[in-house]
Structure 1
Amino acid sequence: MRDSVEILICGAGAAGLTLAIDLARRGIAFRLIEKLPSPFQGSRGKGIQPRSLEVFEDLGLLDRAMATGGVYPPVRKYAADGSFVDEEMVGADHPPTPAEPYRLPLMVPQFLTETLMRERLLELGSAVEFGVELTGFATTDTGVEATVRSERGDEVIRARYLIGCDGGRSFVRGALGIDFPGKTLGVRAIVADVILEGLSRDVWHRFDGGDGKQLSICPLAGSELFQIQGPIPLEGDIDLSAEGLTRRVVEATGREDIVLRSVSWASAYTMNARLADRYRDGRVFLAGDAAHIHPPTGGQGLNTSLQDAYNLGWKLSAVLRGAPGSLLDTYEAERRPIAAGMLGLSTRLLEGFKKGDNRRGREVQQLDLDYAESPLSFVSDAASHLAPGNRAPDANVRGAGGGATRLFHLFRGTHWTLLVSGSASFAPRAGMHIHRIGPGLEFDDHLGQFAAFYGVPDRAAMLIRPDGYVAGVLAAAQAEALQAYLDRVLPAGT
């Protein structure tokens, strides 16, 4: 049996689900396959960083995630003698601002995050196909012919593009022969989701029993579970049963009142930092852990993965609808340097963690990541507070009808956005929304936030990409240049 779709996504973790949601809302025909027979039930990743929360808002996931998860609790650090000190999470004293409405990471166990994403995908008319494994594929000038196996037998799927979101041991990456250089970081650890008694849920408990007997026990928001993390010897079998983990807890804490009742998921793993040599081979792309794997410090892996997919989705859709194929070259050009930077950050944080330094700065929020060197940057002489490739900040404005709104609400969806300062004229274009901001216009900058955050000169405009980054600033005289630029990124004839 043969089936034809535009996109075949292999792997239904955070990257695959993000890509599927984005394609579904754009009306792109795809299949999302996952070789596991049922959804992943662990909390390997539990932190949604502020920039990813902005992505969730655009995808219609934010409020559900907020209602499901919770803020990170203070950290309680225990000394070997049982004494402790409590420390607030870094950034807890920095409230949201109009430009940055989400300033703290949200804790949501990975299995709950992915549940919310599958529900959103179902609302959009699609679903994950579990128990379907990619066993081989061949590429042509026009597409990919993939063989998959399930309980129904073998099936051939023809697709225009194949996206490998199939994790650190990616079958897709291996089949392409793409190198995955990096290093093993000399740290092996356990992570386990458990039901336990003897610890409160209002703090993140961190024990330092000396002699490498560190242990972290964190209450997982949105569940009854605690997550246990800690280093283990580089070699040897590890008992991950409730009894074995209870013994480990007693050794690290010196307390026998902490008792594990059950283990819902557990893993022993070696930390690595690796980055694929390239993200594309013709009609096949890599995203998420298939392209990069991180140590868990700083909570960057899952967030970098879903933002890969958020970057790739709109570009695939545009090309499938007639935009120049060269647009897809910008995916690796933009995302691979980001992953390299995040790998460096996670590795540096791991070295600090080994020395007992758990401090996290603004850099983990991913709000300052940009595509400054992107080939999609529009070159202009018009000045502003923002440069091409910068994240477009939020701001409050008031509509001519009297209702208040936010720029993020204007950005939400699958379109490009042109914010015009004043009444300058720019020709409309399918796939681009134009909003004029100024006294007596569509939106009034009544609080001065647009002027403060964007600094667009009068009668100039700022072009915002579908993924919320600045493409460039255009003077009123560059109306024709804008149309030429849009020919590069929008389907022909729109």
Structure 2
Amino acid sequence: MSEVIVVGAGPTGLLLAGDLAEAGVAVTVLERRDGSVSNLSRAFGVHARTLEQLEARGLAGRLVGTGAQVQRLRLFGKVEVRLDGLPSRFPYLLVTPQYHVENLLLERARAAGVTFVHGAEVTGLEQDGDGVTVVTSAGRYRAAYLVGADGYRSAVRQAVGQPFPGKSVLKSIMLADVRVTEPPAETLAVNGVGDAFAFVAPFGDGYYRVFVWDRRNIVADDEPLGLDEVRAVTRRALGTDFGMYEARWLSRFHSDERQVPSYRVGRVFLAGDAAHVHSPAGGQGMNTGLQDAANLSWKLAAVLRGAPVDLLDTYQAERHPVGRTVLRTSGALIRLAMIKPAVGRLLRGLVARTALSVPAVRRRFLGRLTGTGFEYPAARGEHPLVGRRIDVPVRDGRFVLLGAADLTGFQDRVVAHAGRDAAGPSLVLVRPDGYVGWAGDDPAELRKALARLAGPAPVAAGEPVAAGGAVAAGGAGAGAGAAGEPVAARGAAVRTVG
């Protein structure tokens, strides 16, 4: 019997399954589709925080090689936002189709030993005190826990009775894959003029993915779509259609804003589009789902090792507010892009330029857009660093300890580094997802934190484990900044941000 069942083999489900398998957890992925990766996926941008998560899994370098790095974004035609100052090793937006992300994650999951069952459509599930039984078109499967990463129409969400409140934001969005005779001057071409919106990005294989929306012609998703209509709306929004020809794909769809009340129902969890969907503005949908998976995977692995089961409650506490914020941010962007009166569009640009010229406002906006500025709530009495993102290389699903302490019994789960910021705590424990899990000066409290977050040590404390090379950590006394701003660290390139 598998320990965890993941329903859905999109990016969220694949990252989660790969993490669990690499941690030694027996995982089965149930997918209603066949085993192929579709090139019709809509996501095209990989943000800095997601690239940090992929780097922790040894995948970022390969993915970066598939796309183009964008260091400047244009909002509403003339408002420029620069990304090259982000407090990240990846100060840019990577433009690459979602199928490149899926291919890398699928390869990793298979290599880690994940079991895949295709043609398995979920028709129901039952859970009890010991596990979850899921009924599918391919048979019945049972595991200790189940994660629904099965998208907007999630069968898992429906099976556990979770509502999906919200509404449609944009109806009759047009999608096309085309060739062009006059490629855009910039990697991303995007603009809204009130009654028309267009987005054009390269696939990398000679085709361009085009999204357009026309306020003047809102029709059903199944209404036929021709290339002439896509050309006309693109010209209105961007001033040119780039000489579009040879469409290999044309379709309509609608965009919703929705979020489930609870990401956890007993032994069942929801992640990615099964838990939240947003407008396409900002390109945050796939990114938010991948970060859901990175948050949940290490917690499931720890509980299966013996960590307290209430660790799983923190998934809801940490990720639901992030989903809500992303929904609001992307919603605000798309509504601003849809402003119709000319005077409104003029004021929009003026207000946006003025606001983004204020450093604190710019940091907050970029932190939310790129995922680098989110913090998680800390329990009462915890050190102020807890819940903050820290820029330290984490790998292989292990924790990182900044400082020197006895790690006997935890060596398989923790990588130790000597060196710290003298102004901060002597010990900082970084979770596998790159957030501070505990900070302080008492080695005995560190061991308690490790047992709570990583599972109990199999042996009693013995000789201190030698720490590795010097790494500095930003501490509370090092100058905590606003969201997305690094905390100064002395000695080495490890930054606490948030």
Bin the TM-score by the shorter chain: 0.7 to 0.9
Moved more, 466-475 or 127-136: 127-136
RMSD: 2.9
Note if 1:367 corresponds to 2:354: no
Determine the structure 2 residue equivalent to 1:119: 107
Conserved in 2, the CA contact under 8 Å of 1:75 and 1:203? no
- Give the total of aligned pairs: 432
1:32 to 29, 33, 48: 29
Q: Secondary structure at the match of 1:59?
A: coil
| C-alpha displacement of 1:391 | 0.3
1:90 maps to a residue whose letter is: V
Q: Secondary structure at the match of 1:90?
A: strand
Relative distance call for 1:207 and 1:30 in structure 2 (3 A) is closer
Relative distance call for 1:138 and 1:304 in structure 2 (3 A) is same
What is the correspondence of 1:13-412 to structure 2 with a 5 Å cutoff? 13-37=10-34, 38-72=36-70, 90-94=81-85, 100-126=88-114, 128-149=116-137, 154-200=138-184, 202-206=186-190, 212-220=195-203, 222-232=204-214, 233-236=217-220, 238-242=223-227, 245-246=230-231, 249=234, 258-264=243-249, 266-355=250-339, 361-362=365-366, 363-371=368-376, 373-375=377-379, 379-380=382-383, 387-394=385-392, 408=393, 411-412=394-395
| C-alpha displacement of 1:428 | 3.1
Conserved in 1, the CA contact under 8 Å of 2:132 and 2:144? yes
In 1, distance between residues paired with 2:84 and 2:401?
A: 34
Q: Deviations over 1:237-286 (max 9, x none)?
A: 5433446545655676776872321224x442222211101011111110
Q: Secondary structure at the match of 2:90?
A: coil
Q: Which runs of 5+ in 2 are unaligned?
A: 340-344, 353-361, 459-498
Q: Deviations over 1:376-431 (max 9, x none)?
A: x8725xxxxx611000123xxxxxxxxxxxxx1xx2122222211xxx64453414
| C-alpha displacement of 1:181 | 1.4
Moved more, 291-300 or 239-248: 239-248
* Percent sequence identity over aligned pairs: 33
Q: Secondary structure at the match of 1:189?
A: strand
What is the correspondence of 1:464-479 to structure 2 with a 5 Å cutoff? 464-475=430-441, 478-479=442-443
Q: Which runs of 5+ in 1 are unaligned?
A: 79-84, 381-385, 395-407, 439-449
Conserved in 1, the CA contact under 8 Å of 2:450 and 2:456? no
Q: Deviations over 1:180-203 (max 9, x none)?
A: 112322554222222333434654
Relative distance call for 1:299 and 1:254 in structure 2 (3 A) is closer
2:396 to 413, 418, 440: 413
Q: Secondary structure at the match of 2:388?
A: coil
Q: Secondary structure at the match of 1:269?
A: strand
Conserved in 1, the CA contact under 8 Å of 2:184 and 2:242? no
2:145 maps to a residue whose letter is: Y
Relative distance call for 1:255 and 1:49 in structure 2 (3 A) is closer
| C-alpha displacement of 1:163 | 0.8
In 1, distance between residues paired with 2:445 and 2:455?
A: 17
2:427 to 451, 458, 461: 461
Relative distance call for 1:256 and 1:17 in structure 2 (3 A) is closer
Conserved in 2, the CA contact under 8 Å of 1:77 and 1:205? no
Conserved in 1, the CA contact under 8 Å of 2:120 and 2:136? yes
Conserved in 1, the CA contact under 8 Å of 2:260 and 2:275? yes
In 1, distance between residues paired with 2:191 and 2:385?
A: 45
Determine the structure 1 residue equivalent to 2:445: 481
Determine the structure 2 residue equivalent to 1:441: none
Relative distance call for 1:89 and 1:238 in structure 2 (3 A) is farther
In 1, distance between residues paired with 2:315 and 2:52?
A: 20
| C-alpha displacement of 1:207 | 6.4
Conserved in 2, the CA contact under 8 Å of 1:416 and 1:433? yes
Q: Secondary structure at the match of 2:39?
A: coil
Q: Secondary structure at the match of 2:390?
A: coil
1:91 maps to a residue whose letter is: R
TM-score (norm 1): 0.79
In 2, distance between residues paired with 1:271 and 1:205?
A: 20
Relative distance call for 1:173 and 1:329 in structure 2 (3 A) is same
| C-alpha displacement of 1:479 | 1.9
Q: Secondary structure at the match of 2:3?
A: strand
Determine the structure 2 residue equivalent to 1:437: 418
Q: Deviations over 1:360-387 (max 9, x none)?
A: 841311111111x244x8725xxxxx61
In 2, distance between residues paired with 1:259 and 1:243?
A: 9
Conserved in 1, the CA contact under 8 Å of 2:45 and 2:97? yes
TM-score (norm 2): 0.79
1:291 maps to a residue whose letter is: A
1:325 maps to a residue whose letter is: V
Conserved in 1, the CA contact under 8 Å of 2:176 and 2:247? no
In 2, distance between residues paired with 1:353 and 1:211?
A: 7
Q: Deviations over 1:30-74 (max 9, x none)?
A: 111221233232241111110100000011210110111111387
| C-alpha displacement of 1:474 | 1.3
Relative distance call for 1:241 and 1:24 in structure 2 (3 A) is farther
Conserved in 2, the CA contact under 8 Å of 1:146 and 1:157? yes
Q: Secondary structure at the match of 2:82?
A: coil
| C-alpha displacement of 1:129 | 3.4
